[in-house]
Amino acid sequence: MKDNPKSAKTTRRPKAIRPVCTQNDGSSNYSTETHLIYGKAFTEKWDYSHHLVPPITASATFRLESAQRGAQGFVDFAHTVEGKEISKQAPIYIYDRLGEPNKDLLEDNLALAERGGTCVTFSSGMGAISAAIGNLVVPGDQVLAHKIMYGCTYELFTLWYPRYQIDVKFADLVNPVNLKKAITPATRVVYFETPVNPTLDLIDISAIADIVREENRKRKKANQIKIIVDNTFATPFCQRPIEYGADFVVHSLTKNIGGFGTDVGGAVIGPLSSRDMLLLYRKDYGAVLGTKNAWDALVYGLPTLATRLRSQQETASRVAMFLASHPKMERVNYPGLESWRQHPLAKKQMRDFDGNFAPGSMIYFVVKGNSPDKSRCRAERLINNLAKDAYTITLAVSLGNIRTLVEHPGSMTHAAIPATEQIKKGIDPGGMRLSIGLEKVDDIIRDLKEALDRI
């Protein structure tokens, strides 16, 4: 066999590597962490058996070779048969928006990491959230959401959904009993983040799933309620909501899955039965992940996720302890702090791939002040001190970066929630969000200490 591309399919592959075939429930001889480096090793999605790293594709459209092959490609698209794509062969790629190798390979690995049946990627976290919900609701339906969430998701719910007659109700899901009271016959989706952005409150996923399961028993199949969890803060390294009964997980790949802050992206992970509609949604609404962005997450982001998170959360634990013992702190929310009221729940549901406690890299803290205004002023001073003088802490929105980032949710990421609502919902005027990076812990603490000394 010479270098004839037509014979690529029959190229003999090394036997030793072939048995590495992973199930999405994570069962295989190798750990999830290792799988996120190699993926399926060999895949029908693309033949790159001579590359160590999958090549990056830059082809918006694909050669179809014959009318029959072209027609077959359109038959196969969004036609998932349980266990296999319909053609049982290498997929027929048609056009980037329908699917291409870089996204497909990334999707395989994300589905594996989250223990889902399938994954479809989108151009951003917001693209993924819109698709996950847009797929499940029609006018007249209701989305029931936790009262606090990322500002743009809140605006999607309060600015846009009312225009399409999709009702959104908010409830405090930190106490799952409130969900029971809030469900109506119109409810189709229960939506929340855990840990919640920015307060790091935790929501008990299995307690929510128990209530929804009980309610669903009384309902016809078409009216079943689905649970969507935004797992961006935890990442699949720290928590896999599907294992606790969630139906769908959404991600902003822009954050800790991407990890380096170079690319915007999003993903929905869910049951295989949802794949076709998600693919059609992406095809027709068009929020398609760029190939370069997919490649970065595939080649740099996911393979380093576990290593980055382990280091970040060790640092976060020490930073949280430093802040919690600082006289100018009102309170510090970090799932790893033993003194924190939700620590037991954190220990129950935040676990890494090997079952170790994994409290993550995000910290929320509130500086003291005798009044909301005072507290807000001090937070502002602290942020300005850090922005001006800290070497290891950058004032910037976004999170899950190799660099430590700080921001003021009240005036930045959560500004879409009106100030009076923020206080009612529990976002403190003096609250700040810290995303821990890979710097040495003593350097971060030194910068924080110096900035705190001057407020």
> Interface residues with ligand PLP (CB under 6 A)?
124-126, 150, 152-153, 193, 197, 230, 232-233, 252, 254-255, 264, 266
State the minimum distance, in angstroms, from the CB of residue 230 to ligand PLP.
5
Nearest Cα to Cα of residue 107 among 285, 322, 269, 342: 269
Q: Which DSSP string corresponds to 295-320?
A: HHIIIIIHHHHHHHHHHHHHHHHHHH
State the minimum distance, in angstroms, from the CB of residue 448 to ligand PLP.
22
Q: Are 178 and 125 in contact (CB under 8 A)?
A: no
Diameter of the chain measured on Cα atoms: 79
What span, in angstroms and rounded, lies between the C-alpha atoms of 288 and 303?
A: 22
Q: Which is nearer to ligand PLP, 92 or 196 (CB)?
A: 196
What span, in angstroms and rounded, lies between the C-alpha atoms of 99 and 282?
A: 10
Pairing of strands 142-146, 187-193: parallel
Helix (H) or strand (E) holding 32: helix 32-38
Q: Are 422 and 414 in contact (CB under 8 A)?
A: yes
End-to-end CA distance of the chain: 72
State the minimum distance, in angstroms, from the CB of residue 252 to ligand PLP.
3
One-letter amino acid at 341 equals R
- Classify residue 262 by its DSSP letter: -
Q: Are 274 and 287 in contact (CB under 8 A)?
A: no
Q: Which is nearer to ligand PLP, 402 or 441 (CB)?
A: 402
Token reading at 46 = 């693309």
Q: Which is nearer to ligand PLP, 183 or 257 (CB)?
A: 257
Q: Which is nearer to ligand PLP, 153 or 312 (CB)?
A: 153
Q: Give the up-direction half-sphere exposure of residue 139: CA atoms within 13 A in the CB hemisphere.
A: 4
- Classify residue 351 by its DSSP letter: B
Return the residue nearest ligand PLP (CB atom): 125
Q: Which is nearer to ligand PLP, 24 or 291 (CB)?
A: 291
State the minimum distance, in angstroms, from the CB of residue 16 to ligand PLP.
39
Q: Which residue has the tokens 């993550």?
A: 360
Q: Which is nearer to ligand PLP, 100 or 407 (CB)?
A: 407
Beta bridge partner(s), residue 406? 395, 434
Q: Are 239 and 361 in contact (CB under 8 A)?
A: no
State the minimum distance, in angstroms, from the CB of residue 129 to ligand PLP.
6
Q: Which is nearer to ligand PLP, 43 or 411 (CB)?
A: 411
State the minimum distance, in angstroms, from the CB of residue 398 to ligand PLP.
7
State the minimum distance, in angstroms, from the CB of residue 72 to ligand PLP.
34
Q: Which is nearer to ligand PLP, 266 or 430 (CB)?
A: 266
Q: Which is nearer to ligand PLP, 46 or 295 (CB)?
A: 295
Chain length of the chain: 455
State the minimum distance, in angstroms, from the CB of residue 325 to ligand PLP.
28
Pairing of strands 431-435, 362-367: antiparallel
Q: Which is nearer to ligand PLP, 77 or 233 (CB)?
A: 233
State the minimum distance, in angstroms, from the CB of residue 151 to ligand PLP.
9
Token reading at 275 = 């794949």
State the minimum distance, in angstroms, from the CB of residue 94 to ligand PLP.
26
- Classify residue 357 by its DSSP letter: B
C-beta neighbour count of 404 within 10 angstroms: 28
